[in-house]
Structure formats: C-alpha cells, structure tokens
A and B are shown apart, each in its own frame.
Chain A
Amino acid sequence: MEAFTKLTAIAAPLDMANCDTDKIIPGRFLRKLRGPGYDKLAFHDIRFNADGSEHPDFVLNKTPFRNAKILVAAVNFGCGSSREAAVYVMWDFGIRCVIAPSFGDIHYGNELQNGMLPVVLPDEVCAKLRAQLNAQPGAAISVDLDAQKVTGPDGAHYAFAIDANSKERLLKGLDDIGLVMQYSAEIEAFERRHLSAMPWLA
C-alpha cells in the first residue's frame, strides 16, 4: 500500500449529500476488470451524458478540477454498497484524499485500506471549504496526516481526528495482513479454545 503523509493539491467541491457508492461507480461497471480507462468509470452517470460526452456542469469536468487530488464532499459520503471499486475508480482518477462531514462506515474503511485518506471535518467547515473552492476554482488544500491538520485555501487550519492505528498504517503504508501474521501463535491458541467451547462449529 502507498503511504500517505502530506498532500497539497487542487481540491474539488462535491456539493452532494449522501453521495452513495452507486453514484461513484454504477453497478453495471463492477464486472469491468481494473485496467487502463478504469478512471473513466468514476462518477460515470453524473459525469457523462448518454452519448458519452461530458456533462459540463459536473465539477470534475471543469478545467482546474480535472487535476484534483482532493475531494471536499458533503454528509454521508460513500454510503450504500460495500463496493471497493468506488475507491479504485477515484484512485485511478487521481483522488488521494476525501474530506467530508461523515462517511459510510464501509467506504471509510475501504479508503484506508487503499492508502486514501478520509478526513472528517464538521459540516460547517466542509460547507465553507466547498464555497471557497467554488469561488476560486483550482485553489489548493493541504493535508498533513502526521499533524492531523487541514489547511484551507485561505490558510485557515482545521484539526481532524483519526484512529491512531489507521494513522500509523497510512503513514507507513502498512498492510493489514502483515500485522495479523505477527500474532500467529495467539490466533492458533484462540482457535483451539474457541472450537472446544463451541464444538458445533467444527
């Protein structure tokens, strides 16, 4: 997994509450294998018209935002389906960090598992950041994971919370399986105890 430490990049405002993972990648594309062109599937049905042309009003189709690496979204981002492809398509598009007032739990975990940083900031802060980004297209936001700090386009700082273990993994680019393997002896002892207490599961 790629480590996440600091990022200063163009941020795109996504003014849409409850952006579900079906919106991030529609179900009919889940049978596509990840490869060249996968980035085109990100937000497909709100990004492209039926004839394949770009929907001019969609934020990621506007010039400075095409290079966005940060999304500032609204409440309950990534709710709904557990599809991890929602992270893959955003990653392939170039997104490395999503800032939102709240996330769907499964999607939040999926971002962390792929080296993408989900940042929770208060609703009013996200709304203010989106307003600033709409007013100054192409403005940058800085995210410092170690300091747990976001710096807005106007230089204002916002502290964010993240679980210490998730932070460590992201900073070092650690993979969960490696962390599990350190406990092989405990796991085997646990499994013996568990099955002897619940033998009907054998």
Chain B
Amino acid sequence: MATPQTMFEKIWDRHVIVTRGGNECLLHIDRNFVHEGSFHAFGALARDGRKVRKPRQTIAVADHYAPTRNREQGINAVTDPEMRNMVDLLAKNVAANDIDRYYDLDSPQQGIVHVIGPELGITQPGLVITVADSHTSTHGAFGAIAFGLGASQLKQILATQCLWQKKPKLMRITVDGAIPAGVTAKDIILAVIAKIGTAGATGHAIEYAGSAMRALSMEGRLTVCNMSIEAGARCGMVAPDDTTYAYLNGRHYAPRDALWDQALAHWRSLPGDDGARFDKEVSLDVSKLEPMVTWGTSPEQALMIGATVPDPARGANAEQRTQLEQAVKYMGLTPGMPLADIKIDNAFIGTCTNGRLDDLRAAAAVLKGRKIVVKGWVSPGSTTIKRQAEAEGLDRIFKDAGFEWRASGCSSCVAMSGDTVPAGERCASTSNRNFEGRQGKGARTHLMSPAMVAAAAITGKLTDVRTLTGGK
C-alpha cells in the first residue's frame, strides 16, 4: 500500500514541476493575486523587460489604500498624493500586463484580497495560491496551499507562474469540543496562538482538524486560517467537506455542470489519509473556552476576558520579563488589573480576519437597540458584503448604535489608507495584529471577535459579550 499522505502533501506533490538539489521544488502557482503594495515587483519586472506570463491566472484588487470614506468619489477620495500614486500604479501595471481580472475602487466586487478570493469562487480546494501579503494563509480554509511572500518572489511568479520553494514541515492542530455560546473562530485562533506562541509554527504548514473545526462555517474557518501567520506558520489549511462545497457552488468562478462534478470528485480525494504523519501535533479542547482578548503587543499575549493583566515579574526569564514589561508599558496598563477594567476609545470592525457577513451579523446582534459610547467604524470585508449587509438592514443597526458605516478596504488593520487610531488611544479591533504602532503610531490595539468589539463599544471597556447577550 502507498504511504499515507497528508492533504498538504497531496496538493504539494501535484504542483511540483521539478526538484533541484534534493529539497527545493519548482512549484506551479494556480492563482496569484496582486494589490497596490505589489508595485515593487511590477517595477522590477518592467526593469528586466519582462511582462506577466499568465495574466489569466493573475487577479488584481485595490484594497490596502482603498479609501473607506467618500468612496462614491472613486479615486478622488484618495487625497494624499503618495497613496493615490499607489492606486494609480496598480491600474497602470494591470493595464501594461493585460490583467483583465482587476477589481478597482469602483468595482462592485472590490474588497480585501483575502475576502474576495473566496467570495468570487477563485479560491478553491487543491490549488496553490499566492499573494504578496502575509494573510494569504486565509485561503487555506478551502483546503488550498496558500502562502504570502515578498516582492522578489512575487516578481518571480509574475514572470514565470512558478516559484522555488522548500517543502515546510507539517503541524496538525486538532480542535475538539463543543464550541460554547459566545465563543467564535476568533477566540479559537487566539487561544491557539496563546498556546503555541507567535513562533510556535515557524517553518510549518498547519492543518486544522477536529470536531470543532468541522463545526465551523467557512467564514469561521477563514478566520482561523487567516491568523495562522500570527503563529508563525507558512500556511493554514482545513480539509474541504460539504460545508466547503456548499459555499463554493454557484460562485462566479466556481466550475459548473460537468466540470463541477469533475472538480468535486477531485476535491473529495484531497483530505489526508488515515495514518498520515505530521512533524508536530497540538490539540486544544474548546469546550471550556471563554471569549478572548489580547492585552499586549503580540498576538500571543491573549487571555480569556475574565483574566487579569500579567505581572512581568513572573516572566520565565530575563528576556521574557523585558518583553512583558515593554508590552505593559506601551499598552499603558497596570499588572494585576482585570482585563474587563480596560477602557477603550475606539471600536473597529472589519478586515480579512473578521469582515465577512457572519461577522457583521454577530456584531449587529449585540448592538441592536443599544448605543455605543466610543468612536466606532465598520469597514465590510468587500463591497459585495457591504451590499448584502445593507439588504439585511445591518447598516441601520450599526448606524443607529453610533457606528460609522464605511466602504470596504484594509482600513485600520494596516492603517495604510489613513484610517489610523490616534497615539495613546485604545482600540477594540477585529483585526489580526496588536503590534506597537500597527493601527497608527502610538496606537494601542486589543484584538477580539466582532461580538466582543460590539460589547466593548457599548460599555466603553473590554467586556464579556455574554453579559450583554444573556449567555452568562
């Protein structure tokens, strides 16, 4: 009998063109997305006198610098000349390279690259997908190998549609247990990162398995895979199943009719074989998990909402103590204070982590009939989601509560479009990184689920959402 293979190995092997020097594989890239930040790679490509080799396998979208206010003005809403240049450069590079699949600021399908890939049915099981963006791991929720890279490797893909890669090690994270009410995919992935650390999966591809993962919607699986990079992983994956196929069926780029049947048969062969070997195994029982928040400046500094700010003096070694001290200082906290006493100034809902329709519904369910006491804004993950939310009346709930209802883009997650959090202010955020300065110089970020951001916005401090929804 053949050696049992993991899902990763099945997909990887199918994409290897040649192997060089024993361990370096030339991989075929099925789909490659570009965004405004890809200008370095396009520039280098042009300087070499080259063009994009496979424009039809290249999808372009404006997201990082997308203005979330005054969007009806299109590009004119981008008032900063350098930001405007970023959006203009993408348009020029797309035109110069005959890329037809381009979702510009005015496109009804525009959105964050990791949201529109799945939404349009471009992201499919069994593919190898790349984007010059670390959150490319998101797409792995469909059972694809999807990873981020820098400008030089992007240039290589644009020029050749191939990439030299060493096969990563494999880690399986098995998430079991019934997911308690008020606990979401975001809480699960924050718990995983808190457990293994931000370098816990460095050099590894993660496959998420277990009953809790199977129970998650595609939206939830996308949230979990999205933050795999925050655990250091090369990529994160979930084996495709009926949830995956039901999500894909009928999407714009999904196969139809006989091709659908053929694709489905292939997709069903992708889950790993029984007995397949992983280099590392981690397990997590979520049945006792409570809503999570980050208190510090690294995603691993996450705790259940009932906990207190750690005492740096209790760090395991000098290096860790210094790191904890710096985090407590930057965040303006006092060791020992309950997390639920931390007052916030801003609330942000959106991003490739938590900007999907399910996320907006979860936040709106908490906000309905209530008012927020801080500045709050919502930037849906895509323009399509924005329309869907409006059709359901979610925009009214957000606006009535006091949230600003904005257009789609990366917004205050990466704070490149001008959507920044002022220095010294604190933001409850559905984003993925609480690094120093991530949401703006001196800004303080607390990561949590959309429902938890809604709860914090209502009370003005970090709050267990279950106290508002009757779940506790």
Partner of B199, one of A79, A106, A113, A179: A79
Given contacts A84-B152, A163-B24, are A26 and B199 in contact (CB under 8 A)?
no
A34, B151: Cα distance in complex, Å: 13
Question: A180 near B26 (CB under 8 angstroms)?
Answer: yes
Q: Are A187 and B414 in contact (CB under 8 A)?
A: no
* A-to-B contact residues, CB < 8 Å: 15-18, 20, 22-23, 26-28, 30-32, 34, 45, 50, 74-76, 79-85, 87-88, 102-107, 109-110, 113-114, 127, 163-165, 168, 176-177, 179-181, 183, 186-187, 190-191, 194, 198-201
* Candidates A34, A82, A127; contact of B149 at CB < 8 Å: A82
Compute how far the CA of A113 lies from the CA of B278 in the bound complex, rounded to whole angstroms: 29
Further contacts, 12 of them, CB under 8 A, given A186-B17, A201-B127: A31-B65, A45-B437, A45-B441, A79-B198, A85-B40, A106-B148, A109-B153, A113-B150, A179-B164, A180-B26, A181-B160, A186-B26
- Bound together, the chains give a CA A187 to CA B53 distance in angstroms of 12
Contact A177 B159 (CB under 8 A): yes
Q: Does B407 contact A (CB under 8 A)?
A: no
CB pair A22 B437 closer than 8 Å: yes
Given contacts A109-B149, A181-B160, contact A18 B134 (CB under 8 A): no
Q: Are B263 and A198 in contact (CB under 8 A)?
A: yes
B85 at the interface (CB under 8 A from A): yes
A-B pairs with beta carbons under 8 Å apart, 23 shown: A18-B199, A20-B433, A22-B438, A28-B416, A50-B441, A76-B198, A76-B199, A80-B229, A102-B202, A110-B153, A165-B20, A165-B21, A176-B153, A180-B156, A183-B18, A183-B162, A187-B28, A190-B28, A198-B263, A199-B262, A200-B259, A200-B260, A200-B263
Most chain B Cβ neighbours within 10 Å, of A27, A32, A104, A179: A27
A123's closest neighbor in chain B, by CB?
B319
Q: Which of A74, A83, A87, A198 contacts B266 (CB 8 A)?
A: A198
Which B-chain residue is minimally distant from A180 (CB atoms)? B160
Q: B12-26, CB under 8 A of A: which get 1 and which 0? A: 001101101111101
Residues in chain B near residue A16, CB distance under 8 A? 323
Cβ-based interface call for B289 (8 A): no
Distance A32 CA – B83 CA, assembled complex (angstroms): 9
Residues of chain A within 8 A (CB-CB) of B155 are: 177
A31, A165, A181 — most chain B CB neighbours (10 Å): A31
Task: List B contacts of A168 (CB < 8 A).
Answer: 21
Q: Which residues of chain B are within 8 angstroms of A110 by Cβ–Cβ distance?
A: 149-153
A108 to B320, CA, bound (A): 23
* Interface of B toward A, CB cutoff 8 Å: 14-15, 17-18, 20-24, 26, 28, 30, 37, 40, 48, 50, 65, 80, 82-83, 85-86, 126-127, 132-134, 147-153, 155-156, 159-162, 164, 166, 168, 198-199, 202-203, 229, 232, 234, 255, 259-260, 262-263, 266, 298, 319-320, 322-323, 414-416, 420, 433, 435-438, 440-441
- Residues B416 and A27 in contact, CB atoms below 8 Å apart: yes
Cβ–Cβ contact B134 & A27, under 8 A? no
Contact A80 B435 (CB under 8 A): yes
**How long is the Cα–Cα vector from A163 to B21 in the complex, in angstroms?**
10
Q: Which residue of A18, A109, A181, A199 contacts B198 across the interface (Cβ within 8 Å)?
A: A18
Shortest Cβ distance from residue A82 to the other chain B in the assembled complex, whole angstroms: 4
Least distance between A156 CB and chain B CB atoms (Å): 21
* Of A45, A114, A199, the contact of B259 (CB 8 Å cutoff): A199
- Complex Cα distance, B442 from A28, in Å, reads 13
CB distance from B165 to the nearest CB of A (A): 9
Given the known A-B contacts A31-B65, A87-B150, A109-B153, are A176 and B259 also in contact in the complex, defined by CB atoms under 8 Å?
no
Q: Give the distance in Å from the alpha carbon of A18 to the alpha carbon of B323 in the complex.
A: 9
Q: How far is the CA of A161 from the CA of B190 in the complex (A)?
A: 32
Asked if A191 and B232 sit within 8 Å, CB to CB, the answer is no
Cα distance A196–B102 in the bound complex, in angstroms: 26
CB distance from A137 to the nearest CB of B (A): 20
Q: Residue on B with the closest CB to A113?
A: B152
Within the assembled complex, what's the spacing in Å between the Cα atoms of A103 and B416?
25
- Partner of A106 from B85, B150, B438 at Cβ < 8 Å: B150
Q: A105-B202, A199-B259 are in contact. Are A180 and B414 (CB under 8 A)?
A: no
B319–A176 CB distance below 8 A:
no
Minimum CB–CB distance from B318 to chain A (whole Å) comes to 9
Query: In the complex, which of the residues B164, B203, B255, B260 has the most CB atoms of chain A within 10 Å of its own CB atom?
Result: B164
* Known A22-B437, A187-B162; contact A164-B21, beta-carbon cutoff 8 A: yes
With both beta carbons as reference points, the residue of chain B lying nearest to A201 in the complex is identified as B30
Cβ contact within 8 Å between A106 and B149? yes
Residue of A nearest to B327 (CB): A18
Our pick among A79, A113, A180 for the contact of B232 (Cβ within 8 Å) is A79
Partner of A18, one of B156, B263, B298: B298
Residues of A with C-beta under 8 A to B322? 15
Which chain B residue lies CB-closest to A183? B18
B319 lies within 8 A of A74 (CB): yes
**CB proximity of B281 to chain A, nearest CB, Å:** 20
